[in-house]
Structures are given as structure tokens and as C-alpha cells.
Amino acid sequence: MTIDIQKIRADFPILHTLVNGKPLVYLDNAATTQKPQIVIDTIVDYYSRYNSNIHRGTHHLSNLATEAHEAARKTVQRYINAEHTHEIIFTRGTTESINLVAYAFGEAFINPGDEIIFTMMEHHSNFVPWQMMCERRGVKYHVVPFDTQGDLRLDIFENLLNERTRLVAFNHVSNALGTINPAQRIIQMAHAAGAVVLLDAAQAVQHVDHDVRALDADFYVFSGHKIYGPTGIGILYGKEALLDAIPPYQGGGEMIEQVTVEKTTYNKLPFKFEAGTPNIVGAIGLAAAIDYLDALNFDEVMAHEDAVLAYGHKKLLEIEGLKIYGNAKRHTSIIPFNIEGVHHYDLGTLLDTRGVAVRTGHHCTQPIMTALGVEGTVRASLALYNNHEDIDVLVESIRQVLKILGR
């Protein structure tokens, strides 16, 4: 059986809308993905039938909402193959998940004299929280560079690891280069040095392998909105022993066991890290998105995305003066490029007049742009519903834009 892209496209209502009078060609999936009807219906159903706060109520609606929220946690556990449901913490997104670890793990386990390592290839969300933590804790950090192909310099990484390395943070897939980093190998190297690893899977969980136990990630983070789910919901997975050992990040709501004037004791996992009313509908919507993706054959999804990616590379490179950045050993779903003499922002804006949505700029990865020696790029990024025609429209639209620009 091969994946039926027409059927999948029919599931995403926004793909059948017009933008500036043209059929939408949505190639900004690394920023956020579109939502299938089942996710939209699930959200409407929640607000129409059983909206209620969770865990606290004794009434019918509260029980329904609580059950659905906790079932969503199980869905995430199953999808990433975590050992326990309570290792799944709901957050606002990847950024909050990383900040939580940087704060809570930093407070508990990182001390002056320690070191941490992250990479030049990180999104700012996996860069800045570590810099902030290092400043707070008086700790030194090292940044692993990448080579001209967009592969991490693992030889340099190996030399940076030492007995003082407490933590290593890196992404499985780069949002600006599309590089698939050899996560298992990097994690093994870090573990051999005694370091804990946070894997940023914001661009990986929907495109490549996402089995946290096979990867052996200590912390694994991603955002719902990049995997066909709603915004405002994300996941922090952590190994039970680590989550048990680190202190809570925020106080209030469900994270307490008992509060007295003298002292507060904390709830067990996962609630210890879920202060305040959570994004209940977000969690339920995320589970609907995961169920949707899970019902497809993931190998076929990957093969389809890879075929469209390869076609995109080939067709774009036929355009004179177009340069694609990064050509890592393994890459996925993201094509970053510039055209000689054309500002990326102008190109993006003119493509929009043709209904083609791409992203332009630094993609929250200024260190990558600095390393590439550019101010920004145009980024076409794919999801499972993109097809060869989307690439044809992109390429044809670029040619038309170049004509308008007199090139």
C-alpha cells in the first residue's frame, strides 16, 4: 500500500483555500503545520460537549475532561514509546519544556565548575535558556560547530566532553538546515562521559524516528503545533528518575500535595510540573493529531516526504543563481536557499502574492546564519500533505518573480 496523498490533502481544509486569489501552497511547515479536520472537530467537540476544569471536580463534565486529558497523556506516551505515562509532562511547547529543564535541572544538578554543551545548530529556544542558566549558575558552556555540509563536528564534540560535562542539549533535526543529527550516537557519547542529554525533537517527532527508549534520550521535547496539533501545547518527556529528582519549576494549582503556612509539599509526577489550569483542549487536540498520524504508515509518510524533498532540491537547483544551504549526510523536510542578488524577504513577499507560503529570515537561528555568512534565507519546509505539484508551483512562482525583478 502506498500513501494516498489526495486523501490526506482532503483531510486538511485550509489546503483548499485561496490566498491572494491563488490556491494556497503551504510550505511553512517547520514554523507550524496545518490541522486535519479531526483535530478541528475534536476541539469543537470538547468546547461543545464537555468543557470543564480537570482533576478537581466531582461533576460529570469534569470527569469527562479529566479522562480525555489523561488519555491524551497515554497517547503521547505510546507515540514516543515512553516507559511510563507519568514521564509525559504537558507544557506550552518546546520552548517552555527546555526552559523548565534549564531551570529545574540547573538548580538541582549544575554547579560552578561544571560545564554543558550545546550546538551551533540550535534554535534560539535550545540556545538562550542554556546561556541564561550558565549565567545564573556560574557555569561554562561549549558550542559544537557544524561543517560546510551542515553536519555537526562530532570530532570536536568528542574533545569537548569531559568529566565536568553535566548536560548536552541538541536538536534531532535542525529547523534551519534540515540536518538529521545522529542522535543515538551523540547520546551514547554524552552518556559515556556521564552527561545527561536533552533532545530537541521539535522538527523530528513528526518526520523521523521518535522512540525515546531506542534513542535513550533523558529529556525529549516537542511542540503540538508542529505535529498537526494545536498551538499552546507541548511535551516534556523525562526519565522517571530524573523528573523525580529535580524540583518543580512553577508553583500553584495541581503541583501541590499539601500547603501549610510553614511549608508546601509537592504532588507526584507528572503533576509536580503542571502548575495552574493546563491547556486541556490543547492536550486533547494533540492526541487527536497523533492518532491521525499514527493511523498512517509512518515509513510511507517518511518515504513520501523524502521523495518530495529530493524533487524540490532537484527542481530548485535548476534555477540559475539559486543556492541551497546544507547538504548533510541525512536530512529531511527543509530546503533553505537564497538566490543571488535577491533579498530573501522580497522573494518571500512576492511568492505570497502567488499564494505560496514560505518563511524568510534567520528562523530563530542567528548563530547558524552567522556561520553561513548570511543575514537570512528563504525556507521551504514540507509536511506529509505536500506533493510534487507544490514544488512545481513554488519553482514556477520563483521564475515569475525573477522575471518581475528583471532577472
By CB under 6 A, name the binding residues for ligand PLP. Answer: 30, 93-95, 123, 125-126, 171, 175, 200, 202-203, 223
Least distance (Å) between residue 141 CB and ligand PLP: 17
Give whichever of 115 and 122 is closer to ligand PLP, judged by the CB atom. Answer: 122
Least distance (Å) between residue 127 CB and ligand PLP: 9
Least distance (Å) between residue 286 CB and ligand PLP: 12
Give whichever of 215 and 402 is closer to ligand PLP, judged by the CB atom. Answer: 215
The set of catalytic residues is 364
Give whichever of 35 and 123 is closer to ligand PLP, judged by the CB atom. Answer: 123
Give whichever of 77 and 333 is closer to ligand PLP, judged by the CB atom. Answer: 333
Give whichever of 88 and 322 is closer to ligand PLP, judged by the CB atom. Answer: 88
Least distance (Å) between residue 226 CB and ligand PLP: 6
Least distance (Å) between residue 334 CB and ligand PLP: 9
Phi, psi of 11, rounded to the nearest 5 degrees: -75, -10
Least distance (Å) between residue 204 CB and ligand PLP: 8
Give whichever of 179 and 397 is closer to ligand PLP, judged by the CB atom. Answer: 179
